[in-house]
Structure 1
Amino acid sequence: FIAGLTGFGIRRRIHEPRCAARNAGVEDTREQDSAAKLRVVVTCAEGSRKELLLPLTSTVRHVKRRIARESEPRTPPARLKLLLGERVLADDELLTALGSSELLLAFERLPRQIRGASASDAKEDVIYKLLLAGAQLSGKSCVLRRFLGEDFLETSPSTLGVDIRSKALLVDESLRVKLNIWDSEGRLREYSGAAEDAARLYSGAAAVIVFFDVASAASFEKLSHYLGLASQHCRQGAIRCIAGNKADEGFLEARQVSQDEASSFAAARGLAYYEVSARSGRGVEAMFHDLVGRLLDQLPV
């Protein structure tokens, strides 16, 4: 036993100098690597700050890629703008050409450019299922018609079951997104198999927009029911939001739910709130485009 310990001690003493030399070499290499890199401090408009250590051969494009991978919300490099002072930097500019061994840069997120995709655009890169839910007569179908570019109907038949429509969008002139929009029935019916039907309806939805009529307090009171169904049946990470329809400027006296009340209800649950008008089209396209942007933010960069 003693001999074994002695032998172990001898072997350890023999190897220690080599390990020390090897460790010293690693430390020297690390110091050389650190010395051969450029320190970049990047700040954003929200006040967050990130320090990067980059090779001397790095360009502005490399900085954007790092920010895209590590910042929240995730933002593609094409939607990032880097500034040195007030000057916007080009992607291919070398960091070393900016005149300092330590750079203080700022970045801004550019808004997405979204438009309807034409028939000449290629096959979709991303497909999302969107579910429109909410009380009967809250105007879900009219909002959908407006988004699809169809005429507004003063009297629109109530949806029975579910009506599925599609629209393709082109994002930043490069990414093709297809929305499969499920317009669901607003009547609350109790029947055998209702739970199974609800599960099928909400299952697979990337996002659920729950509508109410701002001129109907009763429809507002039903929001919790539909939000509960979304929480119960949607996949983890699905986006839920609330939309107040019939927010027409000429009908303000008819409102029964104020914008502040609806906004507070949504904020208390961590949800986005939109006000739209199917009649005038106000806010409809912006709501869907914002929702698509939030869905794309969930994708890996």
Structure 2
Amino acid sequence: MYSIRLLPLSGSSSTELELPPDASIGEVLQRARASLGCDPKTRLQLLFEDRLLQMQETLATLGLPDPPFQVDLQLLQQPRLVERIDRQTSDFQRVDVGICGQREAGKTSFLSQYVDHRFYSDRFGNVMPTVRFANLRVEKEDSMVPVKLFLYDLPGSCAHWNAGEDPRMFQRQAAVIFVADLETLRLDEIQRLLDISAPKTFSERVLVGNKADAAAPGNSEEAEAFATAQGLTYFEASAKDHESVDVVLRHTLLAVMDKLELHLTPVGRNGADTPPERSRCEVLQRARASLGCDPKTRLQLLFEDRPLQMQETLATLGLPDPPVQVDLQLLHLQQPGLVERIDKQTSDFQRVDIGICGQRGSGKTSFLNQYVDNRFHAERVLSVIPVDFKITNLRVEKEDCMVPVKLVLWDLHGFHDTWNGVRATMFRRKSAIIFVLDLETMQLDEIQHLLDISASETVSKRVLVGNKADVAAPGNTEEAEAFATGKGLTYFEASAKDHESVEVVLRHTLLSVMDKLELDLTVFRSDRALAPDPPFQRSRCALQ
């Protein structure tokens, strides 16, 4: 048994656990959460030698001495993760939140600041409920759940529409946010809306004192006392200054998700969401340049033990007015860069070509199909043309920014009777080559032949994948790994059938290429901006 000592970054007292070598990091975190009695809204992560550990890793994979042995792991506690995404690409959870309140309290401006990060100074005269939505991924029980958040802009006490006559506006909402104006506070209007919504059971009810930047004396205290008496969670915010807007919606959403039984909606094909721009953290950019960090090292800043998000500014940290010295903790996290899938490119992009070739019948095409389509075809795919390709659209992290990438994966013919000649031209203009080997019926001479043919081409990365790891013959795994080491290839084992390590192989290969690549973006054609990329189908080869 390993003796695990968890060391909080705050320097508070450590916690010790006893676990076997085959225990996963997920099990360690479950034991830590139970032992520490953590708030469910707190996200726990473990660091070992400044490397962020993944949930599926085990203690045995950390390169530790044999037990009994004491292992020191750093424990990082942070709020649960809520990420914005461009659009939903898988089944999602729908969450409906209503926003209503005092007349002219800034409800619509509050909503617009959250969805669009914009403030409109013009007054909105809503005469009926409207709806906006945001696509998110929300952490729930150590997994990320796709969420489509629908925000209903419900009219307040408006002369054009009498809210008191139609309580049905609260019918679908899982939570409701009541917005009061701290400049001209009229709590009787909030009370009226509370009475109307009383028959409905909500997961969370929140009172927001908006216009905190222009609050009249005594109104903040009166609004907070009212919220306490009514059993509402109270926040102060300023839609104009974007103060606490995200905090309110984050709290409300997490409160709903804690009580929600997931009921996923199948993803549709309709509609296109406008991708929000990703913010770049100037502090981290300056720190990376000053320290000369390895590009593969991700930097993370902590302030009062809280990991800071890339889009936050120093002004949002609640610091005294400058000049003032701010102490931030800097973590060097040895974890791979971010790779995100997107539906289509909407701006200039970097093209990356990767060739996949290998032993006859090794499952090259199945390996490619699993990555692109997340599907495994049990029937053997018999290629009668030398080259085929598929395309996937991505955004890849490079030097603290996200680069649009069109990844072209070439399914290069192996050894087959119908096409006898393996040509060096197949490997031309490839940034990397993945050689696929069958661990069940291993034929290393075929891999050696392909290595000899491709030797004249300069590529950023060569990878050997031992496929069919689920049915590997005894000794083949060790022989394949020794072969890869002798040839200077990076070695992975995978199973296209079980989708095991397929993503890992392509992610490693792509990031290795991006590290060495000088960006040369392909101009996005605006005349195709409204047309989606063609569906992934077997394409005709351009090589004749």
Q: Deviations over 1:117-174 (max 9, x none)?
A: 214x414521111101112111111111222216433332321121122221234694
* 1:69–1:129 CA distance, 2 compared to 1 (3 A): farther
Q: Deviations over 1:50-86 (max 9, x none)?
A: 998866642332132456689664358xx313589x9
* 1:207–1:57 CA distance, 2 compared to 1 (3 A): same
Question: Given residue 180 of structure 1, which amino acid in structure 2 is its aligned partner?
Answer: F
Question: Given residue 205 of structure 2, which amino acid in structure 1 is its aligned partner?
Answer: R
Retained in 2: the 8 A contact 1:132–1:209?
Answer: yes
Provide the C-alpha distance between the structure 1 equivalents of 2:33 and 2:197, rounded to a whole number of angstroms: 30
Residue equivalent to 1:138 = 105
Question: Given residue 258 of structure 2, which amino acid in structure 1 is its aligned partner?
Answer: D
Question: Given residue 40 of structure 2, which amino acid in structure 1 is its aligned partner?
Answer: R
* 1:125–1:112 CA distance, 2 compared to 1 (3 A): same
Residue equivalent to 2:148 = 178
Retained in 1: the 8 A contact 2:183–2:219?
Answer: no
Retained in 2: the 8 A contact 1:211–1:243?
Answer: yes
Q: Provide the aligned C-alpha RMSD in A.
A: 4.2
1:280 aligns with 2:241: yes
1:204 aligns with 2:172: yes
Is the deviation greater in 67-76 or in 161-170?
Answer: 67-76
Retained in 2: the 8 A contact 1:74–1:298?
Answer: no
Retained in 1: the 8 A contact 2:211–2:239?
Answer: yes
Q: Displacement, 1:90? A: 3.7
Residue equivalent to 1:224 = 191
Is the deviation greater in 262-271 or in 288-297?
Answer: 262-271
Percent of paired sites with the same residue: 23
Residue equivalent to 2:132 = 165
* 1:57–1:234 CA distance, 2 compared to 1 (3 A): same
Residue equivalent to 2:44 = 80
Provide the C-alpha distance between the structure 1 equivalents of 2:28 and 2:132, rounded to a whole number of angstroms: 41
Aligned to 1:110, the other structure's residue is in SS state strand
Aligned to 1:148, the other structure's residue is in SS state helix
Retained in 2: the 8 A contact 1:204–1:234?
Answer: no
1:271 aligns with 2:232: yes
Question: Given residue 201 of structure 2, which amino acid in structure 1 is its aligned partner?
Answer: C
- Equivalent positions of 1:26-45 (< 5 A) are none
Question: Given residue 212 of structure 2, which amino acid in structure 1 is its aligned partner?
Answer: A
Q: Displacement, 1:241? A: 0.5
Q: Displacement, 1:269? A: 4.1
- Equivalent positions of 1:105-120 (< 5 A) are 109-119=77-87
Correspondent of 2:222 among 239, 261, 280? 261
Retained in 1: the 8 A contact 2:94–2:149?
Answer: yes
Structure 1: runs of 5 or more not aligned: 1-36
TM-score (norm 2): 0.38
Residue equivalent to 1:11 = none
Provide the C-alpha distance between the structure 2 equivalents of 1:193 and 1:247, rounded to a whole number of angstroms: 25
Provide the C-alpha distance between the structure 2 equivalents of 1:55 and 1:171, rounded to a whole number of angstroms: 31
Retained in 1: the 8 A contact 2:182–2:211?
Answer: yes
Q: Work out which structure has the larger RCO, using CA pairs closer than 8 Å and 6 or more positions apart in sequence.
A: 1
Retained in 2: the 8 A contact 1:244–1:276?
Answer: yes
* 1:135–1:177 CA distance, 2 compared to 1 (3 A): same
Q: Deviations over 1:224-250 (max 9, x none)?
A: 332333332235xx21011111112xx
Structure 2: runs of 5 or more not aligned: 263-544
Provide the C-alpha distance between the structure 2 equivalents of 1:126 and 1:90, rounded to a whole number of angstroms: 27
Question: Given residue 185 of structure 1, which amino acid in structure 2 is its aligned partner?
Answer: P
Residue equivalent to 1:241 = 206
TM-score (norm 1): 0.64
Q: Displacement, 1:192? A: 10
Retained in 2: the 8 A contact 1:215–1:257?
Answer: no
1:294 aligns with 2:255: yes
Provide the C-alpha distance between the structure 1 equivalents of 2:195 and 2:47, rounded to a whole number of angstroms: 45
Provide the C-alpha distance between the structure 1 equivalents of 2:147 and 2:105, rounded to a whole number of angstroms: 27
Residue equivalent to 2:397 = none
Q: Deviations over 1:170-220 (max 9, x none)?
A: 34694322111111111278x99955x20x2112211100010001132x3
Retained in 2: the 8 A contact 1:60–1:89?
Answer: no
Retained in 2: the 8 A contact 1:216–1:257?
Answer: no
Q: Deviations over 1:257-276 (max 9, x none)?
A: 44333333323444322222
Retained in 1: the 8 A contact 2:155–2:163?
Answer: no
Provide the C-alpha distance between the structure 2 equivalents of 1:291 and 1:193, rounded to a whole number of angstroms: 23
Aligned to 1:266, the other structure's residue is in SS state helix
Retained in 1: the 8 A contact 2:41–2:254?
Answer: no
Provide the C-alpha distance between the structure 2 equivalents of 1:103 and 1:299, rounded to a whole number of angstroms: 37
* 1:147–1:193 CA distance, 2 compared to 1 (3 A): closer
Retained in 1: the 8 A contact 2:164–2:196?
Answer: no
Provide the C-alpha distance between the structure 2 equivalents of 1:116 and 1:81, rounded to a whole number of angstroms: 20
Question: Given residue 231 of structure 1, which amino acid in structure 2 is its aligned partner?
Answer: A
Retained in 2: the 8 A contact 1:142–1:153?
Answer: yes
Retained in 1: the 8 A contact 2:41–2:80?
Answer: no
* 1:181–1:41 CA distance, 2 compared to 1 (3 A): same
Provide the C-alpha distance between the structure 1 equivalents of 2:46 and 2:189, rounded to a whole number of angstroms: 46
Provide the C-alpha distance between the structure 1 equivalents of 2:50 and 2:133, rounded to a whole number of angstroms: 42
Question: Given residue 240 of structure 2, which amino acid in structure 1 is its aligned partner?
Answer: R
